[in-house]
Structure 1
Amino acid sequence: MGEKVFKILGTAAAVGAGVLAKKISEGGWKAVMASDPPANPEDPDTEMYEAIAWALFSGAVISLVRMLVSRQWTQYYAKSTGRRPSNPNDVS
């Protein structure tokens, strides 16, 4: 598998991770807060504490899921090719 294929599949994995992270963060918010997350945190009608909490929570979940997917993909690449990618930080 070449570097270009790694980058393309890594990008696809990152997009998938984003979709998964959104579902996880929305589900987690609903479980903890017993309500839907703010549809638009920038809306002045949204309470400030709720907008900040949503930004912190969703940002943390998205970053965590993307990092985990990126690490797994880099490990898979190294295992399948016998070497690490030239720039493992450039997955997506």
Structure 2
Amino acid sequence: MADKGDLGWRVMAGAAAFAGGFVAKKAITMAWKKGTGKEPPTNPESPEVAISEAVAWAVLMGVGVEVARLLATRAAARQWAKGTGVLPSQLRADV
């Protein structure tokens, strides 16, 4: 069974990843609007959306959101280590 520290880390990491992904989606959408002058595709899978636009949107969102989640989780891990004195067990290199 998970101990309280493990559960606390999972909650903190989940919240950080969610927040990072949410902010990234908003920022990428705004950047798309500014860069292209139009709304991003709401359904890139639709054949009515140009393949180049659909692929560009998918790549931008996929990479952007995942990088934001990674950075947010790493920042949360640094804060966790500051508060507890150790990294969460899932993130230690010696495990």
Query: Structure 2 length as normaliser, TM-score?
Result: 0.87
Letter in 2 for 1:87: Q
How far did residue 8 of structure 1 move?
1.0
How far did residue 29 of structure 1 move?
0.6
Per-residue Cα deviation, 1:38-77 (whole angstroms, up to 9, x for no partner): 0100011000000001011111110111111011000111
Aligned position for 2:78: 75
CA distance in 2, matches of 1:32, 1:88: 37
Matched-pair contact (CA < 8 Å) for 1:24–1:61: no
Per-residue Cα deviation, 1:1-57 (whole angstroms, up to 9, x for no partner): 712111112111211122111101101111111111001000110000000010111
Matches within 5 A, 1:26-65: 26-65=29-68
What secondary structure, in the 3-state scheme, does the structure 1 residue paired with 2:91 have? Answer: coil
CA RMSD of aligned residues (A): 1.5
Letter in 1 for 2:11: I
Q: How high is the sequence identity, in percent, across the aligned residues?
A: 35
Query: Structure 1 length as normaliser, TM-score?
Result: 0.89
Aligned position for 1:84: 87
Higher relative contact order by CA 8 Å / sep ≥ 6: 1 or 2? Answer: 1
| Structure 1: gaps of 5 or more residues | none
